[in-house]
Structure 1
Amino acid sequence: MSGTEGDVLHHDFYTAERWNNWINQVKESDFKFEESDEPQGKEGAIFVNMEDDIILACLKIIAKYEKGQLSRESALQYIGQIRDIALAEIDPISEDADLMIDSLQTSLMGGFAACEAYLSGDYDSDTEIEDLVKVALEAEASDDIEIALGTIAEIGALVISGKELTDKVMEEVPYGLVAEWLDGIDSIAAAMIGSDGYKDDEEDDEM
């Protein structure tokens, strides 16, 4: 163990102030959809960066849990605190920005559920991601939203444990809640493939 839980408990993995800074950037960006209905340029990148920032904070918590610096209970508590910050209702900004923030928050729901499932061990490492995606889509089609999100959480836990969420699987998912939640899982996968400096992170970088 390279530290004790007591050393970590004062650590601010993510703060409401940090989230509010992002929201202020969205307000200043005067974001609007272009003709293609896709986020464009620098303004659209804000939402991607907001999500990445949250996901990295969650992965830092998981890394400290895996090193034995945080108990499972404390790690879950920290994830819960970040979830409460990021999923809190936001005052309207503009129609386009509000749609993007709503989409971002839905995506993050998948990410948070994944982290919680991984920390709790609520997944079977022998299950195939493709099979779980089918289960999630069937549940969504039947309006079994709780089962759908629980299944997404299992997929995310498998991704955190090292399994791959392939582009092929992502491309075959029709637009809907499952697709948006899977976007959060995809963000986790991308963050893990990128720099793994978060695993050795001692202090949060300020924005």
Structure 2
Amino acid sequence: MSDTEDKSLHHDFYTEERWTNWLNQVKQSDFKFEESEEPQGKEGAIFVNMEDDIILACLKIIAKYDRGQISADNAMQMLSRIRDIALAEVEPISEDADLMIDSLQTSLIGSFAACECYLTSDYDEKDSVDDLVKVALEAEGSDDIEIALATVAEIGALVLKGNDLSDKTLEEVPYGLVAEWLDGIESISAAMVGSDSYKEDEEDDEAC
């Protein structure tokens, strides 16, 4: 193992303290749904920022793997640590906040599955994202949830590889698990387009 890889293994790309800080912000926000039942304003943005923070931590790990600084196995270990923090059961805060956190965690299941699929190269670069979305929806319709998630993971891996998940495709996806998981893939895509900072070789992450 190289010194760079050893240093990365001991670096916390995301911490339980960081996650707790976000949860404390949610508590302080006294978040409530507006009549539209959509998250509004600064309070609603907290959940978006929580998800983005985790996605960027995952993308930093992927970037180190892409640069050959860490192995796929070690990247998976680092990713697993973040997943355990983000998907752990959260103490109830309020009905509205709890619904948002549950939705956020469901979305992140898609994000983590995508990163894992990318690291294991368990996807075909020739596959069409739009075709895979149809396969995922068909699987969900047949209550084959494992196949649905595995297919969403492939979609995410292709997005990480540089493929596009179009807004038009997302608009046609009915609400359900696949839609929520694809929201996590959309967050990956948005983070990749929004900034290249996660690709920089740095170890200093500021807490939220």
Which TM bucket (shorter chain)? Answer: over 0.9
Letter in 2 for 1:137: L
Letter in 2 for 1:50: M
Residue 204 of structure 1 aligns with which residue? 205
Q: How far off is 1:201 after superposition?
A: 4.2
Distance of 1:91 and 1:171 partners within structure 2 = 33
CA offset digits 1:94-119 (Å, max 9, x no partner): 00000000000000000000000000
CA offset digits 1:40-76 (Å, max 9, x no partner): 0000000000000000000000000111111110100
Distance of 1:7 and 1:87 partners within structure 2 = 26
Letter in 1 for 2:85: I
Could you tell me whether the CA contact under 8 Å between 1:110 and 1:181 is conserved in 2?
Answer: yes
Residue 86 of structure 1 aligns with which residue? 86
Q: How far off is 1:8 after superposition?
A: 1.4
Distance of 2:27 and 2:188 partners within structure 1 = 26
3-state DSSP of counterpart to 1:4: helix
Cα gap change, 1:46/1:158 in structure 2, threshold over 3 Å: closer, same or farther? same
Distance of 2:165 and 2:120 partners within structure 1 = 21
Residue 163 of structure 2 aligns with which residue? 163
Could you tell me whether the CA contact under 8 Å between 1:115 and 1:153 is conserved in 2?
Answer: yes
Alignment map for 1:63-142 (pairs within 5 Å):
63-142=63-142
Q: TM-score, normalised by structure 1?
A: 0.98
Distance of 1:55 and 1:206 partners within structure 2 = 14
Could you tell me whether the CA contact under 8 Å between 1:32 and 1:96 is conserved in 2?
Answer: yes
Could you tell me whether the CA contact under 8 Å between 1:4 and 1:68 is conserved in 2?
Answer: no
Residue 62 of structure 1 aligns with which residue? 62
Letter in 2 for 1:32: K
Distance of 1:72 and 1:144 partners within structure 2 = 28
Q: How far off is 1:10 after superposition?
A: 1.6
CA offset digits 1:119-173 (Å, max 9, x no partner): 0001000000000000000110111000000000000000000000000000000
Residue 44 of structure 1 aligns with which residue? 44
Number of equivalent positions: 206
Q: How far off is 1:3 after superposition?
A: 6.5
Distance of 1:103 and 1:25 partners within structure 2 = 17
Name segments (4+ residues, structure 1) moved above 4 Å.
Answer: none
Could you tell me whether the CA contact under 8 Å between 1:3 and 1:69 is conserved in 2?
Answer: no
3-state DSSP of counterpart to 1:97: helix
Q: Which moved more, 1:197-206 or 1:11-20?
A: 197-206
Letter in 1 for 2:43: E
Letter in 1 for 2:95: E
Distance of 1:110 and 1:27 partners within structure 2 = 25
Distance of 1:134 and 1:3 partners within structure 2 = 44
3-state DSSP of counterpart to 2:162: coil
Could you tell me whether the CA contact under 8 Å between 2:117 and 2:157 is conserved in 1?
Answer: yes
Letter in 1 for 2:99: L
Cα gap change, 1:201/1:48 in structure 2, threshold over 3 Å: closer, same or farther? farther
